[in-house]
Structure 1
Amino acid sequence: MTTLQSTTPLQLHHLHLHSESPGQLAEFYRNLFELDAVSAPDGIYGLTGGERAIVIHPGASGELAMAAYAARTREELSLLRERLSDVARDGGIGSEVFFEPGAFSVTDPQGRRLLFGVPRTRRRPDRMAARLQHTVFQTTDLATIVDFYVNRVGFAISDEVVADDGSITTCFLRSDDEHHTLAFFQGSNNVWDHHCYETGSWNDIRDWGDRFAKVRRGIFFGPGRHGPGNNLFFMITDPDGNRVELSAELEHVRAEQSPGVWPHEEHTLNSWGRGWIRT
């Protein structure tokens, strides 16, 4: 099977968020994540640092308009577009804030959009390490969604979480060597779950926790260690209630490695203690 990891590796590059208070949300990410404003279409905020970037559109808060994945070269992007030609569409408004002309999008069976493109500029190290790394959704139809992203787009399954009755409740998908850049939980709604920034070490996790503490933005989940991916983590929320994860030590997975299987229990979600089980 053709996979992104083996033919056209992709990294999560930036997110397009909707917000009813885009200025307030932009100020949060500008200050807490040390981002600078860039040129963007009227009414849209574009913010970037070294290895993290975000585009904020006016709209209903809590919705992810697009997750934008970066190809390494124009040639690889062209190869990917050719393979996805029947589902590829124009990138739409804001697609060229951080990507060169030629970016394109795909829409999954439940309406989520992924944007694929080549970055206009190369990333540089941030003063505080935290690279935008993955995003996660809840879905009411996990089997259909995983089939689309694996068999049509080319993501590979790194790990699955399985309930006592044998049903799959969570699927972690990779687009390069990192354990997951996209994941889905079986849930009662089709909603955006969270997005994550990968730091360099446990000390970075500590430093980010102290940074959020200074502005009285407390941790609501963690600190802990996930089973799938084996990464250290904690989560906060932004002013719109979007969940933001800080992570370290995420596993790398070989292209030929078979998916792991984990039981649906708290210990899988957090081997250190309380888990957050989606319903």
Structure 2
Amino acid sequence: MNDRLITHLRHLDIAAPDYAKQHEFYTDLWGLTPVAEEPGISFLAAEGSPEQYVVRLREAQEKRLDLISLGAADETSVDAMAQRLAGSGVQLVSEPGTLQTPGGGYGFRFFDVDGRTIEISCDVAVRRHRRIEEQESVPIKLSHVVINSPNPERTRRFYERYLDFALSDTLFHPNMGEAMYFMRCNPQHHSLAIARGPHVSLHHASFEMRGIDEYMRGTGRLLRNDIKKVWGPGRHLAGNNTFSYFLDPHGNTVEYTTELELLDEDTWHPHLYDFSDPEVSDQWGTANPMDEFVAAESFNDPDRGLFVAPPV
């Protein structure tokens, strides 16, 4: 779709009480690079990504998802999106203007229908990045973010109506109904997915690796360091991507992935996949079963930051 105002996913910002543990995990183990720091805040880049940073950590008394950042092509697109949202009664957190985060740029923030803070920006300076070499098991980029909602149908409608996201595929279960919507803002199968959960929270954040070998080496590094594995390694049917899910020190699920499907949007038709079929969840049959433990970990803790803008 050439008329989309949103182009891609930029970064995920999270807060937690034990900042030092989070920082150590995301840098020493997960493989991100600190690019800017001040007391209680750090901006972490993926070595293969032109984005200034893909994760921002902040020290706070309560764990929360601070915001999800999305990219737009130019100031005209940012202004048009702000006008569209404000004109429809969506609460803006800030008006379009110059950003004070690394790389600068132009953007604004608003609350989505569930109360998450979303940022839309353009003209952020491109970070000098590099090619990830063979056997180098560090993330290339932030691949996608999955969010939990007790009313995923409403959340899906919000992102379709106001942000021009399109449905790629749906997961359903005979006893649960539709459980997850995979949403795209470009030819990548999904940059955002919306899962049915008991409360609003972060389901997981996924990071793209160079290839299968690098993905497995990264998975092995986390296992050797006794990081709690939630699910994997395996390969999904929806999106055709690999997966290994782990818990960060504060219980957020993070994923290594690779080979997420790129779609021909002119010919693509969404599928309805029954994930009670084991091959839908894991084509290879190598992952531990999708059971109540896996589902419960992905529910995460209720987000304490709904309709409250982060201080940074």
Q: Is 1:46–1:97's contact at 8 Å kept on the other side of the alignment?
A: no
Relative to structure 2, which stretch is displaced further, 212-221 or 152-161? 212-221
CA deviations 1:209-247 (Å, max 9, x no partner) are: 233244332533101111210101111111112111011
Instruction: Give the letter for the 1:59 counterpart.
Output: A
Instruction: Give the letter for the 1:235 counterpart.
Output: Y
| Residue aligning to 1:194 | 204
Unaligned runs of 5+ in 1: none
CA distance in 1, matches of 2:160, 2:128: 28
Instruction: Give the letter for the 1:275 counterpart.
Output: M
1:29 is aligned, of 21, 26, 30, to 26
Identity of matched residues, %: 22
Instruction: Give the letter for the 1:125 counterpart.
Output: R
Instruction: Give the letter for the 1:100 counterpart.
Output: G
| Residue aligning to 1:262 | 273
Partner SS for 2:130: coil
Q: Give the aligned length.
A: 274
Query: Given the alignment of the two structures, is residue 10 of structure 1 paired with residue 23 of structure 2, yes or no?
Result: no
Partner SS for 2:114: coil
Superposed CA RMSD:
2.7
Partner SS for 2:229: coil
1:155 is aligned, of 155, 165, 182, to 165
CA-CA distance at 1:16 after TM superposition? 0.9
Partner SS for 1:84: helix
For residues 243 and 91 of structure 1, do their structure 2 counterparts lie closer, same or farther at Cα, with a shift above 3 Å needed?
Answer: farther
1:44 is aligned, of 37, 41, 46, to 41
CA distance in 2, matches of 1:78, 1:123: 27
Q: What is the TM-score normalised by the length of structure 1?
A: 0.86
Question: What aligned pairs does 1:110-125 form with structure 2 within 5 A after superposition?
Answer: 110-118=114-122, 119-122=124-127, 124-125=129-130
CA-CA distance at 1:266 after TM superposition? 5.0
1:20 is aligned, of 12, 17, 33, to 17
CA-CA distance at 1:39 after TM superposition? 4.7
CA-CA distance at 1:123 after TM superposition? 5.5
Relative to structure 2, which stretch is displaced further, 249-258 or 208-217? 208-217
Instruction: Give the letter for the 2:40 counterpart.
Output: G
Relative to structure 2, which stretch is displaced further, 51-60 or 256-265? 51-60
For residues 61 and 175 of structure 1, do their structure 2 counterparts lie closer, same or farther at Cα, with a shift above 3 Å needed?
Answer: farther
Partner SS for 2:106: coil
| Residue aligning to 2:302 | none
CA distance in 2, matches of 1:159, 1:99: 34
CA distance in 1, matches of 2:261, 2:86: 32
CA-CA distance at 1:30 after TM superposition? 2.2
CA distance in 2, matches of 1:262, 1:182: 17
Relative to structure 2, which stretch is displaced further, 180-189 or 101-110? 101-110
2:109 is aligned, of 80, 102, 105, to 105
| Residue aligning to 1:145 | 155
CA distance in 2, matches of 1:215, 1:159: 35
CA distance in 2, matches of 1:75, 1:109: 24
CA-CA distance at 1:165 after TM superposition? 6.4
| Residue aligning to 2:93 | 89
Instruction: Give the letter for the 1:153 counterpart.
Output: L
Instruction: Give the letter for the 1:83 counterpart.
Output: R
CA distance in 2, matches of 1:123, 1:148: 35
CA-CA distance at 1:275 after TM superposition? 2.1
Partner SS for 1:230: coil
